[in-house]
Structure 1
Amino acid sequence: MSESAERPGPPPGQRSRGPVVLRRAQVQSGTTDQRLLDSRGPSDWVHTDPWRVLRIQSEFVEGFGLLAELPKAVSVFGSARTGPDHPEYEIARRLGSALAVAGFAVITGGGPGAMEAANRGACEAGGVSVGLGIELPFEQSLNHWVDIGINFRYFFARKTMFVKYAQAFVILPGGFGTLDETFEALTLVQTQKVTRFPVILFGSAYWGGLIDWLRSTVREAGKIGEHDLDLLHVTDDVDDAVGHILAAESERSAQAQAERAAVADRPSP
């Protein structure tokens, strides 16, 4: 008897689907190719988790491909509910303009309000204006001041783009979404997933209560470290915000040069 004839076949009621083994009641009729090519079959498969993995992958590929050639950039967050007549709108517009003049692309969530204002300022100053939108139950299209835009299905893919392609965050007054991005950034900096990454809260009157609570309650209870609040820079001045980012960039550049020099001076084995 040949070697191949001696190999036992799969147990009764077992089927392999690529690297996956299914047995008993989990065995499905037909093959993957049959279900792909048979257009008469049900369409529920496009809503399954394995198919969602491909959608998630496509969002990362699309985002990386679109943003890979961006110049240095700053992500600006703020409320979509900030009206054009509100003072914060004009502040965001001036901030976007100042960042563009300093050589930074401006990345926002692409929506209305403070996001629109920052994109507008960057666009008017001749800079690169980027919007990373998100699919929501209510309609919120990318604002008209976005030059490079992409809409995401998944918040976590979108968040990755905000951090990966930015050298800093500037956070204007906002709601839950803005707070979410703020603490996401702080967590990444605190755990050193990103380094030398300024997180700037713009508007001391708005953010003062949060800072007081973090200092008097969270830090006093030992839930954050003694110097964790140093990760935040609070300001009311556009020039101060941009200057803080430029200083961090200069420090980051000097550190990178020092690291390259150290590698170059290392003796060969």
Structure 2
Amino acid sequence: MSDDGVAQQGAGYRKGPVLLRGTQIPYSTTDQRLLAGGADTDWLHNDPWRVMRIQSEFVEGFSALAEIGPAVSVFGSARTPRAHADYVCAEQVGHDLVDSGYAVITGGGPGIMEAANKGATEAGGLSVGLGIELPFEQGMNEYVNLGISFRYFFARKMMFVKYAQGFVVLPGGFGTFDELFEALTLVQTHKVTGFPVALVGTEFWGGLIEWLRGPVLDRGMVSVADPDLLYLTDDPTEAVKYVRERGSELAAEERAAAAAAAAPPKA
């Protein structure tokens, strides 16, 4: 998925259910207005209504995605051109995920997101796009067959995690890093049950792994096991295989733990 700050032309600017183009596109986003400070008291009147809008985004997202079945979220740059090897790789990821019985969830934009959606659609599977309001035209890519447009990043990010059984992350920028580390933080802190995270691209991600196992671990900022939450490969098919097999292992461990907790104490 990821929206890494590139102005690309798309199907228009989405502001909730409203489609805007050309001079109708605003210069600020809903997130910017929500987070902006101010000396006046307008927030007393505006922010309570924003809460209702935020609530509606969660309700609409939950309603639309509740029955999609097993799914995997795919993250990566919006900047990746169609002729790039990463685009081809993401197509294969989308195709293989569908063949493995998963729906594919992306941010619905261009680049890696489009490629994964394309692979999923051409494999005959469910291709989900979670769009976001941005200060430039991007729109939902043509390969999404279930799309939702969000105003707020945090509501959208919730959907990536809530309905995914795993993550496949291809090269990307700040947006991709944000999504990757949010997923890792949720697992590390046990705010969610474990799920597999596969990184595709050893040349791109290898330095990150070395940094985690080196300076970050040496200073005690993570535990020895934390870098193992990431699986690194260059093979998109291997990445999907890892997500499938490790996901099954984690699900079995969760069931066993639940059964053990429910068992009556031994006399």
Q: Same fold (TM over 0.5)?
A: yes
Which of 211, 219, 222 is residue 221 of structure 1 equivalent to? 219
Residue by residue, what CA displacement relative to the aligned partner does 1:22-68 show, whole Å, maximum 9, x if unpaired?
xxxxxxxxxxxxxxxxxxxxxx8997100100000000000000000
Aligned to 2:171: 173
- Partner SS state of residue 165, structure 2: coil
Aligned to 2:210: 212
Partners of 2:222 and 2:254 lie apart in 1 by: 29
Which of 54, 59, 65 is residue 52 of structure 2 equivalent to? 54
RMSD: 1.8
User: Greater shift after overlay, 236-245 or 201-210?
Assistant: 236-245
Partners of 1:248 and 1:155 lie apart in 2 by: 28
User: Greater shift after overlay, 234-243 or 144-153?
Assistant: 234-243
Aligned to 1:192: 190
Aligned to 1:160: 158
Which of 237, 250, 259 is residue 239 of structure 1 equivalent to? 237
Partners of 2:141 and 2:242 lie apart in 1 by: 28
Gaps of 5+ in 1: 1-43
Partners of 1:150 and 1:46 lie apart in 2 by: 29
Question: What is the Cα deviation at residue 255 of structure 1?
Answer: 2.9
Question: What is the Cα deviation at residue 219 of structure 1?
Answer: 1.2
Residue by residue, what CA displacement relative to the aligned partner does 1:173-220 show, whole Å, maximum 9, x if unpaired?
000000000110110010011222111111000011111222221111
Hey, which bits of structure 1, 4+ residues long, moved more than 4 A? Answer: 44-47, 259-265
Gaps of 5+ in 2: 1-41
Aligned to 2:31: none
Contact kept? 1:196, 1:248, Cα under 8 Å: no
State the TM-score, normalized to the length of structure 1.
Answer: 0.79
**Structure of greater Rg:** 1
Q: How many residues align?
A: 224
Matched, 1:117 2:124: no
Q: Tell me the amino acid that sits aligned with residue 138 of structure 1.
A: F
State the TM-score, normalized to the length of structure 2.
Answer: 0.79
- Partner SS state of residue 252, structure 2: helix
Partners of 1:169 and 1:154 lie apart in 2 by: 21
Partners of 1:144 and 1:107 lie apart in 2 by: 14
Aligned to 2:64: 66
Question: What is the Cα deviation at residue 225 of structure 1?
Answer: 1.3
Contact kept? 2:75, 2:170, Cα under 8 Å: yes
Aligned to 1:24: none
Which of 256, 259, 263 is residue 258 of structure 1 equivalent to? 256
Q: Tell me the amino acid that sits aligned with residue 243 of structure 2.
A: I
Partners of 2:66 and 2:129 lie apart in 1 by: 14
Aligned to 1:136: 134
Higher relative contact order (CA 8 A, sep 6+): 2
Partners of 1:47 and 1:206 lie apart in 2 by: 47
Aligned to 2:89: 91
Partners of 1:162 and 1:115 lie apart in 2 by: 13
- Partner SS state of residue 144, structure 2: coil
Partners of 1:207 and 1:261 lie apart in 2 by: 38
Question: What is the Cα deviation at residue 258 of structure 1?
Answer: 3.0
Partners of 1:77 and 1:141 lie apart in 2 by: 17
Question: What is the Cα deviation at residue 252 of structure 1?
Answer: 3.2
